[in-house]
Amino acid sequence: MTDDRITAPLAAYDRNTVVLHWLTAALVACGWLLAQFIDEFPTGTARTLARSVHVSLGLVLALVLVVRLSWRRRGGLRLEPQPGSLGRLAVITHAALYALLVAVVVAGVVNVRVRGDDLFGLVRVPSFAPGDKALRRTLGEVHGWLANVLLILAGAHAAAGLWHHWALKDGVLHRMWTAR
């Protein structure tokens, strides 16, 4: 039986792609973590600040996502996926991650617009549907559900990277650790 593992490191992504990848991961993780504790903050200034930070993280994520998609389309290095079923699964997973990122951001913006919000006590976003608590609750649940699915898929993506690194020893993880 032959060992068909790739032992030489594969080509690495460019620096912008690597930075945008890890910035996206950090913004998603921080936004999700903060969302888990927003209701634990006392009503008033502390909760407004927590919500404002969460919304701001989402807006920065939206900007990073636009830059990332633009960079990917115009100048980012695209590496060929692995051949076979693992490569196809990777392509599908990446497409799902991008789709979920867009869906979470859009749901968050719609959620803020329907709920209305006070950002850092400086900007008041008026409610699109004042008094419609059922719609607010539904949109909040949709945003939260999408974020949870995104985090689960991102966790599976990270686990796959670690599996490539520790079990397959094929250099795939190095593509996103070290920029060329």
| 17 in Cβ contact with 180 (< 8 Å) | no
The model's pTM: 0.85
Query: Can you tell me which residue has the tokens 């008026």?
Result: 126
Q: How confident is the model at residue 38 (pLDDT cuts 50, 70, 90)?
A: very high
pLDDT in tens, 113-147: 999 998 998 999 999 898 899 999 999 999 999 99
* Overall average pLDDT of the 65-87 stretch: 83
Task: Indicate if the pLDDT at residue 170 is higher than 90.
Answer: no
* The pLDDT value given to residue 179: 56
Partners of residue 119 on adjacent β-strands: 123
Which tokens hold the place of 9? 């490191």
C-alpha separations of 62 from 30, 66, 114, 146, 179 in Å: 14, 6, 18, 15, 23
Q: What is the per-residue burial (b if ≥16 Cβ within 10 Å, else e) of 19-30?
A: ebeeebeebbee
Q: What are phi and psi of 71, to 5 degrees?
A: -65, -40
- Report residue 106's pLDDT band, with 50, 70 and 90 as the boundaries: very high
The string of pLDDT tens digits covering residues 13-27 is 788 888 999 999 999
Distance CA 170, CA 180 (A): 18
pLDDT band with cut points at 50, 70 and 90 for residue 169: confident
Domains and CATH numbers, the chain: 15-177 (1.20.950)
Q: How much of the chain is in helix, strand and coil states, percent to nearest 5? A: 70, 5, 25
- How far apart, in whole angstroms, are the C-alpha atoms of residue 139 and residue 88? 33
The set of residues, in sequence order, having a beta carbon less than 8 Å from that of 48 and lying 6+ positions away, is 118, 120, 121
